[in-house]
């Protein structure tokens, strides 16, 4: 962007859509992508002209620094379509702010918020037909930036590529979810990059998650790196515990992601007078609550899954199953969130963002 000013977005439309070949009732999360993508390169100390073009492969040098030093961050967002065929985003500015906080932590230039939003709206309008109506249907949006400068010297890249790709989505998890409390591995440490959506955070958790899956669990709930006494977040979600009628969740820190869905649940809890405590939660108190029958629910919160109930957990070789709740908090908060996202309820918080047709 010359002189810091956004330039017009160059648009090259796909010659034909591949939408008719997609079975929208049987989607595997993140496997199908829309007709177009957004791209913008950082060169000579500034972001260049953004462009939208047909979705397809990109070319990189084998020595591109993203492959060697992991300078890569991303975000997760969703677009929703209401009964009137209007398209909505949910708290997009919070995602963009977090995207840029992640960039700063990995020494990547921040991307201008106005250009991000303008480009995203243009992209969503081009691929509007890929956004389907109905609860549970959405368009998952994946903005990311990678280091593209050729060279294997251990230093920040001088060149970057910002991109947005989109994927129609149904449910993220299918089937019941059970978790294991981490006793050995940790997701992040003090002073690290746990608060950022750095690609390496997710790559590093695959191995311990695979070990958990071998034991019959779907995810890990990470504990703090220092003592493994405090519960922090699940593999792809922030996590909530319902003890009695009280909702507990860990505070954000430089280890824990500032989840958009997480803080929306906290705001809804306060709105509907559900007692909520944001504080450090110990493994010991949750195990004891489970043994006494006081642990009523656990659920994850994140963009991809929205709200995902957790049926049970494991710790030190023991397994704990949670009781079925007739009026669960997980179901309540998921319904309230989706009613706002799909424009079926009043948005007192100003979270909805209308994507205007152009």
34: nearest Cα among 52, 61, 8, 51? 52
Q: What is the pLDDT of residues 315-342, one digit of tens each?
A: 999 999 999 999 999 999 999 999 999 9
Co-location of 157 and 233 in the same domain = no
Co-location of 28 and 72 in the same domain = yes
Is residue 243 situated within a structural domain? yes
Q: What is the greatest pairwise CA distance in the chain?
A: 63
Gap between the Cα atoms of 255 and 253, Å rounded: 5
Co-location of 197 and 71 in the same domain = no
pLDDT at 3: 45
Co-location of 45 and 137 in the same domain = yes
Residue 326 phi, psi (nearest 5): -65, -40
Are the CB atoms for 164 and 34 separated by under 8 Å? no
Is residue 163 situated within a structural domain? yes
Is residue 348 situated within a structural domain? no
Domain boundary among 128, 144, 169: 169
DSSP bridge partners of 46? 43
Q: pLDDT band for position 239 (50/70/90)?
A: very high
Domain boundary among 145, 169, 193: 169
Q: What is the pLDDT of residues 197-224, one digit of tens each?
A: 999 999 999 999 999 999 999 999 999 9
Structural domains in the chain (count): 2
Q: What is the pLDDT of residues 155-179, one digit of tens each?
A: 999 999 999 999 999 876 667 899 9
What CATH code is carried by the domain that includes residue 249? 3.20.10.10
Q: DSSP code of 128?
A: G
Gap between the Cα atoms of 169 and 165, Å rounded: 13
Q: What is the pLDDT of residues 248-257, one digit of tens each?
A: 999 999 999 9
Q: What is the pLDDT of residues 91-139, one digit of tens each?
A: 999 999 999 999 999 999 999 999 999 999 999 999 999 999 999 999 9
Co-location of 91 and 109 in the same domain = yes
Instruction: Domain of residue 157: give its range.
Output: 2-169
**Percentage of the chain surpassing pLDDT 90?**
92
């Amino acid at each position: 962007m010359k002189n810091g000013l956004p330039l017009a977005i160059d648009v090259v439309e796909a010659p034909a859509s591949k939408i008719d070949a997609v079975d929208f009732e049987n989607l595997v999360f993140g496997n199908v992508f829309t007709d177009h993508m957004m791209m913008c390169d950082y060169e000579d100390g500034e972001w260049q002209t953004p462009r939208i073009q047909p979705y397809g492969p990109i070319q990189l040098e084998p020595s591109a620094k993203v492959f060697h030093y992991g300078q890569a961050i991303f975000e997760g967002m969703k677009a929703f379509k209401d009964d009137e065929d209007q398209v909505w985003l949910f708290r997009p500015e919070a995602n963009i702010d977090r995207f840029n906080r992640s960039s700063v932590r990995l020494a990547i230039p921040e991307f201008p918020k106005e250009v991000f939003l303008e480009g995203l709206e243009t992209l969503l309008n081009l691929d509007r037909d890929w956004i389907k109506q109905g609860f549970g249907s959405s368009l998952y949006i994946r903005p990311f930036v990678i280091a593209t400068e050729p060279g294997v010297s251990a230093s920040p890249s001088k060149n970057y590529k910002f991109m947005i790709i989109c994927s129609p989505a149904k449910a993220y998890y299918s089937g019941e979810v059970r978790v294991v409390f981490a006793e050995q591995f940790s997701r992040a440490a003090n002073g690290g990059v746990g608060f950022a959506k750095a690609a390496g955070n997710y790559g590093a958790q695959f191995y311990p998650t695979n070990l958990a899956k071998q034991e019959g669990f779907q995810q890990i709930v990470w504990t703090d790196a220092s003592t493994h006494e405090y519960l922090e977040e699940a593999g792809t979600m922030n996590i909530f515990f319902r003890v009695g009628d009280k909702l507990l969740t860990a505070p954000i820190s430089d280890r824990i992601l500032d989840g958009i869905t997480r803080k929306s649940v906290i705001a809804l809890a306060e709105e509907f007078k559900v007692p909520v405590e944001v504080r450090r939660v110990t493994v010991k108190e949750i195990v004891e609550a489970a043994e006494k029958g006081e642990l009523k629910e656990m659920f994850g919160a994140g963009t991809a899954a929205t709200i995902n109930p957790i049926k049970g957990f494991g710790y030190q070789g023991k397994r704990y199953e949670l009781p079925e709740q007739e009026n669960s908090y997980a179901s309540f908060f998921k319904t309230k969130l989706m009613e706002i996202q799909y424009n079926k309820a009043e948005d007192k918080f100003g979270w909805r963002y209308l994507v205007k047709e152009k």
